[in-house]
Amino acid sequence: MKHNWIKGKKKLPALAVCAALSCSLLAGCVDQSGGDTGEGTADSGASSQPESVETMLEITDPEEKAAVEAAKAKVQGMEDEPRIIATSPSTAEICDRLELDLVGVCSSSISELPERYAEAEEVGTAMAPDMEIVASLDPDWILSPATLQADLQPKYEAIDTDWAFLNLRSVQGMYRSIQELGEIFGREEQAQAMVDEFTEFYEDYKDTNEGKEAPKVLILMGLPGSYIIATENSYVGSLVELAGGENVYAGTDQEFLTVNTEDMKT
């Protein structure tokens, strides 16, 4: 898992977290051909054997471990529960599963936030939190998506608080970070329950689909006048990879590509 080390008076590593929907989304990627490969599949290679869940979720970076230990010690040294703000629906959902209380949450017209946070103060949208409201809540930690780090980090530095920018780009990163958040905030049991749930599902999924042909997958998102291609570096791309699919636009360091229909790979 990649970490973004943040310069400033207070800092936390950027944790890699995604919305906790991987099990249901992976279930939608199973081979529905009933074993009948038919014409046009002879060139598809057999699905490679995925790595074990333990290997995928193992945290080996010593700097990463040290940062988590430092944050954990800081939380344990506080007299009261940490005051946490989650500035996106996905981070709020993860906090809910970890049974973390929040003093502030984002406002959203398209996502329903957990009932647990019905009384929490709304701090504005994920892309543009109202920093006057954020500062008035006197947060100890702010959790935000890493994709907004360039815009939000200077604002968080200005109010002198700790923060973590959560990476919502892969299933593996999500569960590694769930473990880290659980350790930092004393929610190890809740975090392990989520990891166990994924492990049970994924091992069963691998057994069910072992030896099946690996389909070539194009992940296409339509926009007015153009299309966006999701690569293996995106969250949905990581789902395809875990499900045994072959992304036809693999081999780039970008999450999304803009292409014309005439240039699309087949």
**CATH number, domain containing residue 225:** 3.40.50.1980
pLDDT tens digit sequence for 42-97: 333 444 445 677 777 787 788 888 988 999 999 999 999 999 999 999 999 999 99
Q: Is residue 28 part of a domain?
A: no
The total number of structural domains in the chain stands at 2
**Same domain (yes/no): 86, 137:** yes
Residue 247 belongs to some domain of the structure = yes
Contact 191, 179 (CB under 8 A): yes
Q: Examine residue 32 and state whether it is found in any structural domain, yes or no.
A: no
The reply to whether 202 and 222 lie within a common domain is: no
- Within this chain, do residues 106 and 146 fall inside the same structural domain, yes or no? yes
Question: 102 near 85, Cβ under 8 Å?
Answer: yes
Q: Range of 99's domain?
A: 53-207
Residue 177 domain-assigned?
yes
191 and 59 in a common domain: yes
The closest of 56, 54, 47, 55 to 29, measured between CA atoms, is 47
Please report where in the chains the tokens 């087949």 appear, as a residue: 266
| C-alpha span between 54 and 157 (Å, rounded) | 36
Q: pLDDT tens-digit profile of 108-135?
A: 888 899 999 999 999 999 999 999 999 9
> Is 148 in the same domain as 83?
yes
